[in-house]
Amino acid sequence: MKSEELKTILNRGNTEEKYDAFKDLDSKFITIEIFSILCGLLKDEDSEVRFFALYHIIDKFESFLSKIEGNLVNDFYNLLFDESALVLDRSIWALSIIGDNAIDKLYQEYQAGSLYVKKQISYAVGRGNFSERSQERIEILLSGINSSDNDLSYISMCELMYNTPLVATQSNPWDSIYNSKTTINEIYTNVLQIARKLSKTSNIKYHESSNYYIKLIENYIKDSDLT
């Protein structure tokens, strides 16, 4: 396949033709031009095309993705609000690869965002791998956990706990809280306070998760003599 053929398929071909063209893609096509075309497809009306572009950007163009800035970062950020759960999930992965420019964007948008925006960003910072920027992530989630909105409090609580040694199923960057002024014990203290509040609500989801975290943290406090 020649470069012009590939570009024609990406710009005009159907989804099946796009996937076929990318099977065993020759390394000669890993170029900034093809990367730019894929980035343009992130705005396609078809969610399958958006997912195709996002999947292959992550899979084959990571070196380009890690260096983007400006409006391109915005394009990946906007996918956090995509109607497709698959696209949304991959967008978190992509933002993690972008790294510092992505966490800067997430932190900025969180400050002025609506409840919906704050919830989506909370998922992103909790599930993304921004291992060298723990402070911003923790600030976002601690802000959310103290929200007057129970759903945002719940999401923030869960995302915080997913990243702590008490819950994480494997070694996690937050075990040592890189670049953070907040200790793990301060996180547990904040979670415990909100978990006790949410455990008294009638929402079964809140109740069960909160009681689980209360038990974990209280056992941790007992075992470590934390006061």
Contacts (Cβ under 8 Å, ≥6 apart) of 72 = 39
In this structure, what DSSP letter does residue 64 have?
H
pLDDT band per the 50, 70, 90 thresholds, residue 201: very high
What was the pLDDT predicted at 222? 86
What was the pLDDT predicted at 40? 97
What was the pLDDT predicted at 130? 67
Residues 212 and 209: their CA atoms lie apart, in Å, by 5
> Over the chain, what is the mean pLDDT?
90
Which residue matches tokens 């969180």? 110
Residues 120 and 118: their CA atoms lie apart, in Å, by 6
pLDDT digits (tens, 9 = 90+) for 62-108: 999 999 999 999 999 999 999 999 999 999 999 999 989 999 999 99
Query: Nearest-CA neighbor of 214 among 10, 45, 197?
Result: 197
Topology of the domain covering 1-95 = Leucine-rich Repeat Variant (1.25.10)
What was the pLDDT predicted at 147? 94
What was the pLDDT predicted at 172? 56
* Structural domain boundaries in the chain: 1-95, 99-227
The pair of structure tokens assigned to 162 is: 């997913």
pLDDT digits (tens, 9 = 90+) for 133-183: 778 888 999 999 999 999 999 999 999 998 888 887 666 555 545 556 788
What was the pLDDT predicted at 174? 53
pLDDT band per the 50, 70, 90 thresholds, residue 226: low
Say yes or no to pLDDT of 202 above 80.
Answer: yes
Exposure string (b/e) for 2-25, b if CB count within 10 Å is 16 or more? eeeebeebbeebeeeebeebbeee
What was the pLDDT predicted at 156? 96
End-to-end C-alpha distance for the chain, whole angstroms? 67
Is residue 52 within 8 A of residue 15, CB to CB? The reply is yes
